[in-house]
Amino acid sequence: MPISRASLLSRRGLLAAGGAIGLGAALAACGDDDKKKGDSQKAAESGKSGPWSFKDDRGKAVETKSTPKTIVAFTGTAAALHDYGVEVKAVFGPTKTKDGKPDVQAGDLDINKVEILGNVWGEFSVEKYAALAPDLLVTDMWEKDALWYVPDNSKDKILKLAPSVALWAAQISMPAALQRRADLAASLGADLKAAKFTEAKARFEKAAARLRAAAKANPGVTVMIGSASADLFYVSAAKTSADTAYFQELGVKFVEPKVNAQGFFEELSWENVGKYKADVIMMDNRSTALQPDALKSKPTWTGLPAVKAGQITPRTTEPIYSYDKCTPILETLAKAIETAKKVA
């Protein structure tokens, strides 16, 4: 990320634009379209009558006269709710790539059936949002009381139109982040005792056990969490994001960078990208970050031991917090550690 651009971004904007942080969420995908529609209808009907309330991660008790129906959410959070059978009317945040395909953060959302209020950082159509007559806005929170992808310059107008729920994507561990999205989905009508949800959770727990075993069997393997821009390489601290904090709890050994004042990552020039030694590099898979194939022209990158050894694995930096979507994340990292050679 160019220094001039970074200076124009807010603290949260810097994180979104390419700093290697992570979160999102994911649970049980719903199968074919008819089944998805049935699940959504069932979820909606189960919460039809009476007042609705939910205490979010700001400690704010959000209350409405009835269960919200017109829900607008950050794309990754909407994808998690979708996995529980709770559908949203509109989304904001990375949803559609330049070629019109679903962004990685959209999960199984049908991006042609939701209104996209904003697709990039700083973009949010207040007019379209107001026209929806929203019942509820839902998003992530990386910093206390800061609503992810809700622009600061229009935040006051947006928050006047409907109640909002914010859920931590940092400073907690992945199981807690998963539970909070599940709690919200249940409040909106999802049946968490349904077989597909209990089975998805069981698969997640099995994957977690596999990652723990992989880390224990390969204690010398060190992992670096990276994200690339044209001018800078970001090395993240594992403890600050829900996903990597959990991987660390499971025994994965991470590079520990000297983070900046924001506390999430350290910015390195490409000349200094070899500052830390790692056997495996987890690379930010978001559309806002440069991917490994785009870095082949950078000799300091191609000279890294992990790169030479082909020990690069994707990092789902903003996970979709449902058990269905988080399970492959654990399995991918477990495989990378199981097969890694000590090269640093």
Residues 6+ apart with CB under 8 A from 266: 234, 235, 257, 258, 259, 260
Tell me the pLDDT band of 28, cut-offs 50, 70 and 90.
Answer: very low
pLDDT digits (tens, 9 = 90+) for 239-265: 999 999 999 999 999 999 999 888 899
pLDDT digits (tens, 9 = 90+) for 289-307: 999 999 999 999 999 999 9
Residue 317's CB: how many other CB atoms inside 10 A?
28
Q: What percent of the chain has pLDDT above 70?
A: 86
Res 159 pLDDT > 90: yes
**0.75 surpassed by pTM:** yes
34-48, 88-102, 121-135: which range is least confident on average? 34-48
Report the chain's mean pLDDT, rounded to a whole number: 88
CA distance 240 to 263: 7
Q: Give the pLDDT confidence score for residue 42 in this predicted structure.
A: 46
Tell me the pLDDT band of 338, cut-offs 50, 70 and 90.
Answer: very high
Q: Give the pLDDT confidence score for residue 143 in this predicted structure.
A: 92
Tell me the pLDDT band of 13, cut-offs 50, 70 and 90.
Answer: low
Largest CA distance in the chain: 62
Tell me the pLDDT band of 49, cut-offs 50, 70 and 90.
Answer: low
Res 32 pLDDT > 50: no
Q: Give the pLDDT confidence score for residue 262 in this predicted structure.
A: 81
Residues 6+ apart with CB under 8 A from 13: 121, 122
Q: Give the pLDDT confidence score for residue 46 in this predicted structure.
A: 44
Instruction: Identify the sign of the CA torsion 46, 44, 327, 77.
Output: negative
Res 21 pLDDT > 70: no
Q: Give the pLDDT confidence score for residue 14 in this predicted structure.
A: 53
Average pLDDT over residues 275-284: 97
Res 328 pLDDT > 80: yes
Residues 6+ apart with CB under 8 A from 147: 139, 141, 155, 164, 166
Q: Give the pLDDT confidence score for residue 16 in this predicted structure.
A: 60
Q: Give the pLDDT confidence score for residue 91 in this predicted structure.
A: 98
Q: Give the pLDDT confidence score for residue 30 in this predicted structure.
A: 34
Whole-number CA gyration radius for the chain: 20
- The tokens for 329 are 């994340």
Res 130 pLDDT > 60: yes
Residue 207 phi/psi, 5-degree rounding, is -65, -40
Average pLDDT over residues 121-145: 97
User: 99-126: string of b/e by CB count within 10 Å (b at 16+)?
Assistant: eeebbbbbbbbebeebebbbbebeebeb
